[in-house]
Amino acid sequence: METNTEKQEYTITVYTENQVGLLNRIAITFSRRKINVESLNTSPSEIAGIHRFTIVVMESRDIVLKVVRQIEKQVEVLKAYFNTNDEIVWQELALYKVLSEEITEKVKVERLLREYGARAVAIRKDFIVFETTGHREETNKLMKALEPFGLVEFVRSARVAIIKESSGFHEKLKDFEKREPSEEVIENEYLGKREAVFTM
């Protein structure tokens, strides 16, 4: 019982239709209960036409279970899962912008970057952008380590996660999409056509 009411990190994976506004419907499930979303990522899934949300929250199991059921209730949601960190493989990507002169002048910085497996993704005369992927503690650590050495910008992506035990669901999804292909998203095609289209 204690574990059910204790807060911990949960990764919620939601398989959905690709629909305008669904992001908001999912987001308000959390904000309504004043739950802070630690990270949110939307992406296609392995099945074309099916979308995937990955959401991280710090909450108790009891609460997460109820929230996930509310999410699953949304019309365009196919399935929602929640997992603790040991049930998933996950990564976050971080970018660090550092002043070039600091790097080139201080050997220590170079060593740091190598130690953390950082990769240079842009090299300019005045700054260099490095990238690492890993768990939050890892990307955080490098940020802290770089702070004294001219770190001018830091950004981290949302978590993406793979559920270790998901092969069963994948088959179902594939079969599902084959039987009933997804519909196309309809966007507002008039937005850019102001004056040309209508008059009152």
Partner 1 sequence: MATKTLEKEQGELLEKIAVPTKKLTGSQAVLEACIAEGVDTIFGYPGGAIMPIYDALYDYNDKLKHILVRHEQGGIHAGQGYARTSGKVGVVFATSGPGATNLVTGLADAMIDSTPLVCITGQVFAHLLGTDAFQETDIINITMPVTKWNYQITDATEIPGILAKAFYLAKSGRPGPVLIDIAKNAQIQSFDYEGYTLCNHIRSYRPKPVIRKKYIDEAVVLINNAKKPLVIFGQGVILGKAEKEFKKFIEKSGMPAAWTILGLSALPTDHPQNVGMLGMHGNYGPNVLTNECDVLIAVGMRFDDRVTGRLDKYAKQAKVIHLDIDPSEIDKNVKATVGVWGDCKETLPLLTLGLQEKDRSDWLKVFADYNQKEYDQCIKEELYPTGKEMTMGEVIRIVNETTQGNAVMVTDVGQHQMVTCRYAKFNESRSNVTSGGLGTMGFGLPAAIGAKFGAPERTVIGVIGDGGIQMSIQEFGTIMQTGVEVKIMILNNQFLGMVRQWQELFNEKRYSFVDIESPDYVMVAKAYGIAGAKVEDRKDLVQAIHTMLSHKGSYLLEVMVGKEYNVFPMVPQGCSVSEIRLK
Does the protein bind partner 1 through residue 194 (CB under 8 A)? yes
Interface with partner 1 by CB under 8 A: which range of 93-101, 104-112, 132-140, 189-197? 189-197
Separation between Cα atoms, residue 147 and residue 154, nearest integer Å: 10
Separation between Cα atoms, residue 6 and residue 59, nearest integer Å: 7
- Smaller CB distance to partner 1: residue 121 or 190? 190
SS3 state of residue 13: strand
Figure out which of the listed residues 11, 13, 16, 54 binds partner 1, where binding follows CB under 8 A: 16
Q: Report 28-47 residues binding partner 1 (CB under 8 A).
A: 28, 32
Does the protein bind partner 1 through residue 172 (CB under 8 A)? no
φ and ψ at 116, to 5 degrees? -90, 5
Q: Tokens 């690492």, residue?
A: 132
CB of 179 to partner 1, least distance (A): 8
Residues 169, 37, 68, 85, CA torsion sign: positive
**HSE (CB half, 13 Å, CA atoms) of 87?**
12
Which stretches of the chain bind partner 1, using CB under 8 A?
A: 16-17, 20-21, 24-25, 28, 32, 65-66, 69-70, 72-73, 75-78, 176, 180, 182, 186, 188-191, 193-194, 197-198, 200
